[in-house]
Each structure stands twice: as C-alpha cells, then as structure tokens.
Amino acid sequence: MIKRNSFSSGTNVCAIVLFLVFSLAACKENPASAQQKNNSEKKQKAPATDLHTAALTGNINAVKQHIAAGSDLNQKDALGGSSPLITACLFNQKEIAALLIEAGADINFQNNDGSTPLHVAAFFCKPEIAKLLLEKKARKDIKNKYGNTAYETVTAPFETVKTIYEQMKQMLEPMGVQIDLAYIEKTRPLIAKMLQ
C-alpha cells in the first residue's frame, strides 16, 4: 500500500511539474510575436482626415500620419479611381507627391481611365511634379484608355483640346484646381519636351 501511494504521489508530482513547465512555456513570449507587438505599438493610428483629402489640401501632417499608420497609399477614390498620388499631382501638391513616392506609392498607378500620375501632371501642366515623376522613373510609355501616353496628351494643337480644358476648369475649379488656359497653352510644349 505504501508503494502504491508513493507511486500515486510521484505521478501526481510529475504531472504537476509537467503542467507547470508547459504552462510556463506557453506563457513565455515568442521573440517573433514580441517584435510584432513592438511594431504594432509603434504604428500610429490613421488621422481622421482621409488620405485623398490630405493630398488635395496639402495636409502634410495627415499624409505623414497615414504613412506611419500603414494606410493604403494606392487606395482608389470613389469618383474616378485615382490614387492619392494622382490627386496630389492634380492639385499641384509637389511635397505631398514626393512623400507618397518615397513611402512606396505606385508611381505608375492607373485610374479608371487608365491615366497615371504622369498623365495628370503632363495634361494639367505641372512641370515640377512631372520632373519629379520622371526622376523617380515613372514610365512614359503607358497609354490610357484613350490610347494616349502622357506625351501624347500635350502634343495635340491647343485649339483642338481647349474645350476639354474649359470643361475641366468648370468641374475642377470649385474643388480648388486652378486652370489658367494661357499658362497651359504656353506650358504644354515645355511638358512635351520633358517627355520626349
């Protein structure tokens, strides 16, 4: 009888020790999960201002917060499927465009009509942004759904596209896009030269 109790006691002690070992092992933090925890703690929360609004208004702090929070830098807007980089190009926000590019935004992203940031910068005559995009190796050979490269959007005679600019002016100026037809007419050949 003593042997049986000793055996039972030994088995119980063994079981308790094994339970404690497994419990401690389960509680021990995995180095990989600790790293993930630290990374998630470092990640900031996205700001209340959405990324497209931040891009079009030039809200550098909100864009930086979106980048730090890991927001999708290529999220499409609901209207035309533009990325925040295309929005920054349209609204002539060079610093925002540079931040987005450096953070990994797709420099050749195509919106619903197939236009890239370079198409937009070229067509709306934003030479500094076009230069930035070219320096960052934006592709000049991408055609939009109308069959035009960025270069081809600025090579037609101005008189043939003037009505398009006038329509864009009516649509976009209430949103803050300045379209100066005289400036565009003068700048289109310079943009075309950059894109050759």
pTM: 0.77
The tens digit of pLDDT for each residue in 124-142 reads 999 999 999 999 999 999 9
Q: Find all residues with CB under 8 Å of 177, minimum gap 6, and list them.
A: 90, 91, 92, 124, 168
Q: How far is Cα 46 from Cα 43, in angstroms, rounded to an integer?
A: 9
pLDDT band for position 44 (cuts 50, 70, 90): confident
The tens digit of pLDDT for each residue in 61-79 reads 999 999 999 999 999 999 8
| 46-195 classified as CATH 1.25.40.20 | yes
Q: How far is Cα 89 from Cα 83, in angstroms, rounded to an integer?
A: 10
Where do the domains of the chain lie? 2-39, 46-195
